[in-house]
Amino acid sequence: MARWEPGARERLVLAAVDLFTEQGYDATTVAQIAERAGVTKSTFFRHFPDKRELLVAGQETLSGLLAEGIAEAPADAGPLEAVAAGLERASSAFGPMNRDLGPRLKAAVATSTELQERDALKSVSLAAAMTAALTARGVADSVAALAGELGVLAFKRGYAAWSESDRDEFAPFALAALAELRAASASLG
């Protein structure tokens, strides 16, 4: 096993998702994940505190990018326009590996209640980041909370559509999902 190779974090995530799908979350050990990724257990623990955290790798970065995009939206942008700016900013962190990981990650999460709970907490965290960024722009709390939740829903729907496509750019999928949700919410009356 090589002492150091680039991309260990990404290899660990891919190995974990594959193993969770193949044999289930509970049956997968950190040692198996490290072995499949071609790293040592100590390398695993340098990147992640436990195997559960593999599924939220990059969550802090994603929350930060969403918040930055919202904060930097034009001053006259409405809440959903600011959310769109956040989704566009966040899309800069997504590449082909993220797209290819989507269906595998969905399958892995479906195998475990614990992973489903962790995935739900990730959604709450992303919504909170967007809500806080909107509130900092002066958006009323209830409007900011609703826009943040719509942003998460647009992100999830856009990600699902993008992961089934062969296109490299994520932003158009997230923005299309946000536009669809905006239209749907207008029809609520």
Answer for the pair 155, 126: CB distance below 8 angstroms, yes or no. yes
pLDDT in tens, 174-185: 999 999 999 999
Whole-angstrom Cα distance, residue 37 to residue 131? 36
The CATH superfamily label for domain 8-53 reads Homeodomain-like (1.10.10.60)
Answer for the pair 26, 47: CB distance below 8 angstroms, yes or no. no
Mean pLDDT in residue range 110-126: 88
DSSP state of 48: -
The CATH superfamily label for domain 58-186 reads Tetracycline Repressor, domain 2 (1.10.357.10)
- The residue with tokens 């100590």 is 42
pLDDT at 155 over 80: yes
pLDDT in tens, 46-57: 999 988 888 777
Same fold, 8-53 and 58-186: no
pLDDT in tens, 22-51: 888 889 999 999 999 999 999 999 999 988
What is the Cα 182 distance to its own chain's centre? 21
Every domain of the chain and the residues it spans: 8-53, 58-186
Per-residue pLDDT at 1: 44
Per-residue pLDDT at 3: 46
Tokens (6 digits) for 170: 């994520």
> What are residue 188's phi and psi, to 5 degrees?
-70, -25
